[in-house]
Amino acid sequence: MIHRRTRFTAASALALLIAAPALAQTSSAQVTVAPVGATTPAAQGGANAAALLYNAADPTKSVLAATAELGGLAFYGLDGQRRSALPGGETYGVDVRDDLIAVLDRKDGRLRLSRYDFTTGAAASLDARPLTLGYAGEGLCLHRSARDGALYAFTLGGEGQLDQWLLFQAADGKLDGRIVRRLHLSSEAKYCVADDASGALYVAQQAVGIWRYDADPEAEAVATVIDINRLGRIQGEVGGLAVLNGGAQGNYLVAANADAGDYNVYDRNADDKFLGAFRIQAASADLLEAPSGLFGLRAPAGAGLPAGALLVTDDRKVGANTQVLSWKDVAAALNVSPGADTPTVAPSKLTLVTATMETRPVDHGGDAADDPAIYVHPTDPAKSAIIATDKKGGMLVYDLSGKLLQHLPDGKMNNVDLRHGFKLAGKSVTLVTASDRTHKAVAIYTIDPETRLLTSVADGVQATGLSDPYGLCMYRNRKGATFVFISDPNGLVRQWKLVATPAGKVRAQPVRDVKFDTQTEGCVADDETGKLYVAEEDVALWTLGAEPATGTARKAVARVADNPALKDDLEGVGLYAQAGGKGYLVVSSQGNNSYALFRREGDNAYVGSFAVIADGASGIDGISETDGLEVTSASLGAGLEGGAFVAQDGRNVSPPENQNFKLVPWSTIARKLGLN
């Protein structure tokens, strides 16, 4: 299990510390806003959270869902009158998406999922099985990804736990869930909120402040501080959070500054800059006694809520209820725009696919797994294998089910490639090479077709003369000569010819150097066309001749700055070769966790991009932060007749484990992208 520690971003922390003396003198808000309504007091227990189930067909018939602890979840009309209740344990946290309700049950330590029927006014359980937390839960929030529509739940614990669950439909139509990311805060957090449009997750760590994360489980777990207790705009503890996203015209985060009795508002269109604060003046002329959970809805919900609502739960000892504020009134009091009713969100242009196989995780933690190669068995495609590198521990061989067949602890191997048809000791063998960073050498192996095990055939240490052997790919020309290219982080790419010795070993003879301006790693050679493709990580995908005599002249296939689909680093490069010179180049666009396709023929025109996302039912997560990849058009047996795509997963999150490699049938990619 990997626990990623949260940390300040330097800019945010510095800004807060610089501003601290002035902020400490800031007085409480003088702006007050009166509620437009309130629910009747909770029938049993307290109240810590509420959400608004929006009825798109008739917004005036929207429903408030409010926690009532041992009284379950209570439903109210917009008039504040109680309509019904959903019993179940001790409810202590609620969030909704459309008609879906998620509740945290503290009594049984689990998530409860249900669906509300606006016609009957009742909610029915959707739990395929109990989703138990394993700790004392404090709160939750939901997030629906704009990228792929996946639904997530975040659960918060009393000891700083922050788990992200992928919710997915089970075979019986109900909802199941898997933990796909585990974060850990230094102390208790009760409230969080996620914005579906931007993918931002905000967490209120009571004794510390407000943090912002990327809600994508495949994203790097870096926390940016939005506000901080005592040094910032928060006095004492921070409470509930709400997002009211009105797009470019007005997009806001609201936080309960509970000890001060204020509600802080931050401008999400200006990197969450503090805008101002207001107080709530209840109908009884007193301020809210015990403000806790918040909920924001930026959509018109009748005459009293023309720009949506801000719900504030008042967990007072007697008469706990939910106060309803008009967001239009709040915006007017702060002299800001309430935002647009229907902000435009650009749909993702990425094609989405799922992996059908993943290998056993590598033995080493951190950034260890790096690059795969696909060995195609000459007579039985199902006996093909994946050869891969653990750059902290050597060479790995897996079968097509992901089972580890061999581990050779030969050094820190970075990249790997192979070529068939090498003549060695009177036999035609498959030659496998890897960049050996431990010995600064070319590692050279053969693979046995029957056992699928590697055997070193290097004629001693084949020194590269490079400062750090890094990227690697192989090339076999039409005359049968076999070459290997290895890059150095300083931009140098060196080419060797592989030569068999009379003793049945292999030597590497340097034949050419090509210098790039910055670091390169991913590369692939097209044996039929004699082209070499090299990814200069921050700059471009280049093409040049693969033959030593072709010199150093090169041409850009695609530049990072010119193609919006590419985001540095450009990493692994693979070739899906088809008959007649057709096919596709596949490039890892690491900066946005996607893979770009370019035509093999002609001027290598850009075709489209795809991403590999999680499959909740199978439990195989998506692929992110990919270093190395490989593709083949050869059949690998049943289900993989059209070949396969294999990539390193830089964040193996479900469950959180060491890095591994994942496989996607090429037929799935081709179908989704409309390829031949």
pLDDT band at 378 (very low <50, low <70, confident <90, very high): very high
How many residues in the chain?
A: 676
Residue 110 has pLDDT above 80, yes or no: yes
> Considering the domain boundaries, does residue 344 fall inside one?
no
Answering whether pTM is above 0.75, one says: yes
Alpha-carbon distance of 52 to 505, in angstroms, equals: 72
Question: Could you tell me if 236 and 208 lie in one domain?
Answer: yes
- CA atoms lying within 13 Å on the CB side of residue 503: 7
Q: Contact at 8 Å (CB) between 79 and 40? A: no
Scored b (16 or more CB within 10 A) or e, 623-654 reads bbbbbbbbbbbbebeeebebbbbbbbbbbbbb
> Phi and psi (nearest 5°) for 61?
-105, 20
Alpha-carbon distance of 646 to 636, in angstroms, equals: 12
pLDDT digits (tens, 9 = 90+) for 323-346: 999 999 999 999 999 999 877 677
> Considering the domain boundaries, does residue 343 fall inside one?
no
Lowest pLDDT segment from 62-66, 183-187, 519-523: 183-187
Question: Could you tell me if 329 and 393 lie in one domain?
Answer: no
> Considering the domain boundaries, does residue 100 fall inside one?
yes
Residue 44 has pLDDT above 90, yes or no: no
Q: Where does 145-261 show beta strands of DSSP type E?
A: 151-157, 161-169, 175-184, 189-195, 200-205, 209-214, 224-228, 241-245, 251-257
> Considering the domain boundaries, does residue 208 fall inside one?
yes
Lowest pLDDT segment from 288-292, 322-326, 348-352: 288-292
Per-residue pLDDT at 346: 72
**Mean pLDDT, residues 95-114 taken together:** 94
Scored b (16 or more CB within 10 A) or e, 290-318 reads ebbbbbbbbbbbeeebebbbbbbbbbbee
pLDDT digits (tens, 9 = 90+) for 400-436: 999 999 999 999 999 999 999 999 999 999 999 999 9
Domains in the chain: how many in total?
2
Lowest pLDDT segment from 89-93, 287-291, 581-585: 287-291
Question: Could you tell me if 496 and 643 lie in one domain?
Answer: yes
Residue 282 has pLDDT above 80, yes or no: no
Q: Contact at 8 Å (CB) between 167 and 176? A: yes
Paired strand residues for 570 = 589
Strands 100-105 and 110-117: antiparallel
> Considering the domain boundaries, does residue 342 fall inside one?
no
Question: Could you tell me if 424 and 517 lie in one domain?
Answer: yes
Domain boundary among the residues 306, 334, 362 is at: 334
Question: Could you tell me if 158 and 117 lie in one domain?
Answer: yes
Alpha-carbon distance of 24 to 226, in angstroms, equals: 16
Question: Could you tell me if 368 and 314 lie in one domain?
Answer: no
Residue 317 has pLDDT above 70, yes or no: no
Question: Could you tell me if 327 and 361 lie in one domain?
Answer: no
What CATH number has the domain bearing residue 523?
2.120.10.30
Per-residue pLDDT at 71: 83
Domain boundary among the residues 267, 300, 334 is at: 334
Q: Which residues lie below 8 Å from residue 673, measured CB to CB, with a gap of 6+?
A: 351, 597, 607, 608, 610
**Mean pLDDT, residues 98-125 taken together:** 94
Question: Could you tell me if 269 and 397 lie in one domain?
Answer: no
Is the peptide bond preceding residue 214 cis, with omega within 30 degrees of 0? no
Question: Could you tell me if 180 and 246 lie in one domain?
Answer: yes
Q: How would you classify residue 456: left for phi > 0, otherwise alpha for psi between -120 and 50, otherwise beta? A: beta
Mean pLDDT of the chain: 91
- Cα–Cα distances in angstroms (integers) from residue 530 to residues 289, 372, 434, in the given order: 76, 22, 21
Token reading at 644: 């396969």
pLDDT band at 8 (very low <50, low <70, confident <90, very high): very low
Alpha-carbon distance of 484 to 494, in angstroms, equals: 8
Indicate the burial class of 489 (C-beta count within 10 angstroms; 0-12, 13-18, 19 or more): middle
Domain boundary among the residues 299, 334, 369 is at: 334
Question: Could you tell me if 326 and 384 lie in one domain?
Answer: no
Token reading at 379: 């007579």
Domain containing residue 129: 4-334
pLDDT digits (tens, 9 = 90+) for 236-276: 889 999 999 999 999 999 999 988 888 999 999 999 999 99
> Considering the domain boundaries, does residue 339 fall inside one?
no
Q: Which residues lie below 8 Å from residue 106, measured CB to CB, with a gap of 6+?
A: 89, 90, 91, 92, 136, 137
Per-residue pLDDT at 92: 86
Is the peptide bond preceding residue 217 cis, with omega within 30 degrees of 0? no
Question: Could you tell me if 390 and 327 lie in one domain?
Answer: no
**Mean pLDDT, residues 538-565 taken together:** 96
Alpha-carbon distance of 645 to 82, in angstroms, equals: 55
Q: Contact at 8 Å (CB) between 247 and 344? A: yes
> Considering the domain boundaries, does residue 625 fall inside one?
yes
**Mean pLDDT, residues 533-561 taken together:** 97
pLDDT digits (tens, 9 = 90+) for 124-179: 999 999 999 999 899 999 999 998 899 999 999 999 999 999 999 998 999 999 99
Q: What percentage of the chain has pLDDT greater than the value 70?
A: 93
Residue 644 has pLDDT above 70, yes or no: yes
> Considering the domain boundaries, does residue 346 fall inside one?
no
Alpha-carbon distance of 295 to 664, in angstroms, equals: 40
Token reading at 109: 């330590």
Question: Could you tell me if 330 and 363 lie in one domain?
Answer: no
